[in-house]
Structure 1
């Protein structure tokens, strides 16, 4: 399937990965503070932030300062779809096209996900779309909550830089799942399980899954 113009490309640039990591660790920093943290010019940092916002990873808001004048703009990672219009559009798109693609045989959900119900299905579809659009070629196991991934664009990094990139991506996946209500959570990400693949492990919150299977009598 041809890649769309809205496919994720922002995190192929390592400085954006560093920037997202700082935002994950230190929410509500200003542009100037972020530029200093990543060692980039303010204008370059602003451009990178624009890409991260456009792709639904970061949100911006004015920070009340209790004084006259324009309040400073601060940034944080998106863990609620209402924080970012692009994130909302992505989820709406998945909910609209996911069932259609499954009906015509162009997409499927693992049996374990189907057992957990519609909420899990929406979470899984949203996560897989992100992974696919990021070029990670997700392949889901049919019976276990595991997804094999192609090694990320930062395979060439070494040591602390590679660890940083893996950590940022793992936290991003948790934030994406948090945007869609459901039982699935990130259990762990095993980077470079083989020379060319990584593995994502999911788990189901048992209380939520039980509510979906056996809803309380009204």
Structure 2
């Protein structure tokens, strides 16, 4: 229970969830109800985090104008990428954002050891957190696919504009309609396929 409370505190501090006391009519500390933060104005932590991402992104583009894709992507999409970058960087995943392809490379993956025991849950939760970041920032971009272990220690997020095909889906048939649970299942299947030797690799 204490471990769960600690994780909930971290999520609330990061502006991903918000808690409210539940009135029971009894003495003592009331229990708390937790719900995801859908709109940043519902959490001062979320508002602060998004503002910091906006300021960091603006400062970076001021120093390196060649990195400014506001004209082609629009300010809302750029802000979404700033917020997602900060979230992934805080998680230690060293994001590499490609604004033209709308992909985000993740180095390294922190959760490989959990996949065997937790199956699609790990990738599904990660996909949902990414989607939540994009929704909180507000804008046209959404998560289309999570590709695990492109190389042994690299994952990739594929983004796209709502109502449009993602730039990187034309060649490889990414399905833009799958939900986060299916994203997790696809991720685990791809991961396991890398661990299974092909017939030509098996010893005679």
TM-score in same-fold range (> 0.5): yes
Aligned counterparts of 1:121 and 1:142: Cα–Cα separation in 2: 8
Q: Indicate the residue corresponding to 1:202 in structure 2.
A: 159
Indicate the residue corresponding to 2:113 in structure 1. Answer: 156
Deviation at 1:183, TM superposition (A): 0.6
Aligned match for 1:190, one of 147, 161, 166: 147
Distance 2:66 2:4 in 1: 38
**Deviation at residue 58 of structure 1 after TM alignment:** 1.9
TM-score w.r.t. length of structure 1: 0.66
Partner deviation per Cα, 1:185-209 (whole Å, 9 max, x = no partner): 11111122221100100011259xx
Aligned to 1:171: 128
CA distance in 2, matches of 1:87, 1:148: 24
Structure 2: 5+ residue stretches without partners: 165-204
- Post-superposition shift, 1:59? 1.3
How many equivalent pairs are there?
A: 162
- 1:107 Cα deviation from its structure 2 partner: 8.9
With over 3 angstroms needed to count, the CA separation of the structure-2 counterparts of 1:195 and 1:45, relative to structure 1, is same
Equivalent in the alignment of 1:53: 12
SS in 2 for 1:136: coil
Gaps (5+ residues) in structure 1?
A: 1-41, 208-218
Closer/same/farther in 2, CA of residues 198 and 106 from structure 1, 3 Å limit: farther
Inter-partner Cα distance in structure 1 for 2:87 and 2:122: 16
